[in-house]
Chain A
């Protein structure tokens, strides 16, 4: 066991810190601490610019292989990068779906042509992706999707509806799960298509969320098209690819989020000290408990990183369940620490009915953490069946 950073890691940290200090200034100053879950609608154009500046300096997709435009840095360096990014107040990464979900999926399952066509736009920060999985009747039971795609004259023609599609209003592309063989069984006959968002056959209807903002939307496909070769993996083999993406989603989340959580935790400690909640024996217990929980989150991640295999092992199986529940409980604690003040929102802003404080957003948004990317219940099923080998429930 070695808990120290190497010399190279220390100088990498210094490099990141220096670059951020020099670049996250001027017109980007207003982005500090903004964007991200519950605040994705904030200053989208400016955040796109920032995303391109990051890309030009080579800070997007740093963990990707070099041939795909990344720096191939080890995971520990990614952790360091995230730590520094959050410490500097770096805005929510508007390109995160491309960087953490679609990119790794294409690198793993995509054709060389698809990689050449789509990865550069993610790396240079110019193109935004969204994830078209869920439908009104296909949430946890994802394989129940009904959206169809049919091949006509060298193009897939798509009909159907997606829902809860995060970042859809701003996205250039969507990876869409479609049924391409209606006669096949549920999990067969699904294909994974890459679809341009800005076209006549697509209608996007934003949905107002619990926070008052609209980060996700309904997406209607009414004869929307995409080229025949925009299918990832084989036709009718999209379920396998979709599950690959989900594994990336569930694996990647912890590290990027922990640093944000630490920041929120610091806000709560500061509030407790300010308003005297820090002297309440019960709240002291709960704040200490949250701190211990956050510390363990980091230790879990470090343990996972220290395992060689890229397979998600037992240590990683519960990461999503753990962080989402920690964050939900933490949101409740934050409100209790604030007491009466927890009710006071900020003056109305340009988006939504009101403007919430960071901790209010966190409190509200955390209710979705235990739902998206596999609900708590689905996560426990997965842990029980895959990590512990318990028998499946009857289906």
Chain B
């Protein structure tokens, strides 16, 4: 039993920290935030070209680096720490993972090499704008795919799509036939497909872009449907993998809040002493440390389960049990890390006093990111409810 990062993973983290400290400074973030694209394409090109990050978890057979979900963890922590504005989460955690889970060999071959090379960005959309607030996963899908002889006609709306306005490849979930069919399909289509209207949505957290997609009778070929795994099950696994990735990001971001607060508490003087010598400030910081480290345990474990699941799947022996383990671990991590990050981001503002309330200080970036991250892919409440169900609560009668 070993529960720690390997040397290689630590090396990856150092590399990421070096790169992001230089390329994701406050000035970079501020600049990216003001563009509709939401990131700097030159930096993204370097991320792909020099570092190969988009291909990190893509198998070598599809021209990627062939590492596992666990190796993503340190990288995502660092991206969270630096509020990195890039289509990494959408392309890798949503898009590439969707293809890896649900694509056929031909579909993987068609898109993954381009993703690995950094030439293609991707994302996943599933949530209808009219879905009930607390619905998640399949129950939030409202898009409909009508089956025709030659393929499918997609009609309806998908919203809250991360980087949906700019992604080269869109993967969307839709009910096949109509909503009552109970058959969910995943479809891959280029971002510029005819009949599709993409709208950039202004967001409170400007470091992560969202878009809505309107499908006005979009015609797709048969092979646009991802058929490597049954759609409903695939969507659940993909969203779990994404939640795990988001949780790792939340850990790094929460730690950045802690570090900022501690640094400030050491230097800011009031009443003739550093504010960090006051217990009420010190104890806030102590609680933040506890939450950061617990969040890390939860997310790290979930990453490990995700890695095992992907390995099992590649070996063609994915069991129900593994799926359940991932669901438990992902929901636990997403619930805990959402709360932990939000707590730390809020407390960091408190420790900073007035300066923490300004646009000039980075504290607001984290606070808004904490809010958007906890709303994305299901709230903490949603995930705890899912854990309760997995514990068998309520199905005894």
A interface residues, Cβ below 8 angstroms from B:
1-6, 9, 76, 269, 272-273, 276, 278-279, 281, 284-285, 287-289, 291-292, 295-296, 299-300, 302-303, 305-307, 314-315, 317-318, 321-322, 377, 379-381, 383-385, 387-394
Contact = CB atoms under 8 A, between A and B. Distances in A.
A5 B392 CA distance: 27
B385 A285 contact: yes
17 contacts: A1-B300, A1-B304, A279-B393, A288-B335, A292-B298, A292-B332, A292-B336, A292-B384, A303-B4, A306-B1, A314-B293, A321-B286, A380-B282, A383-B286, A388-B282, A391-B266, A393-B277
Nearest to A9: B1
A314 B279 CA distance: 19
Contacts of B3: 1, 3, 299, 302-303, 305-306
A392 B307 CA distance: 43
Nearest to B258: A388
A92 B80 CA distance: 44
A389 B266 contact: yes
A1 B262 contact: no
Contacts of B282: 380-381, 384-385, 388, 390, 393
B277 A285 contact: no
B274 interface: yes
Contact of B285 (A269, A285, A288, A390): A390
Nearest to B1: A76
B18 interface: no
Given A272-B393, A296-B294, A306 B286 contact: no
Given A390-B277, A393-B277, A291 B285 contact: no
Contacts of A289: 335, 384
A126 B332 CA distance: 44
Given A278-B393, A292-B332, A284 B1 contact: no
B290 A322 contact: yes
Nearest to B336: A292
A380 B286 contact: yes
Contacts of A4: 1
B6 interface: yes
A245 B253 CA distance: 36
Given A289-B384, A388-B262, 19 more contacts: A1-B300, A1-B304, A3-B1, A3-B301, A6-B1, A273-B392, A285-B388, A289-B335, A295-B301, A300-B294, A305-B1, A321-B286, A380-B287, A381-B279, A381-B283, A384-B285, A388-B285, A390-B266, A393-B277
A274 B6 CA distance: 45
Instruction: Describe A's contact surface by its main secondary structure.
Output: helix
Mostly helix, strand, loop or mixed at chain B's interface?
A: helix
B150 to A, nearest CB: 46
Interface centre among B265, B286, B301 (most CB of A within 10 A): B286
Interface string B313-357: 000000000000000000010011000000000000000000000
Contact of A383 (B273, B290, B388): B290
Interface residues of B, number: 47
B201 interface: no
Contacts of B279: 377, 380-381, 393
B220 interface: no
B371 interface: no
Contacts of B385: 281, 284-285, 288
Interface string B1-42: 111111000000000000000000000000000000000000
A270 to B, nearest CB: 10
Contact of B4 (A1, A9, A76): A1
A299 B297 contact: yes
Interface in B50-83: 70
B189 to A, nearest CB: 37
Given A291-B391, A292-B387, A299-B301, A388 B286 contact: yes
B298 A269 contact: no
A78 to B, nearest CB: 12
A273 B396 CA distance: 6
Contacts of A291: 332, 387, 391
Contacts of A379: 286
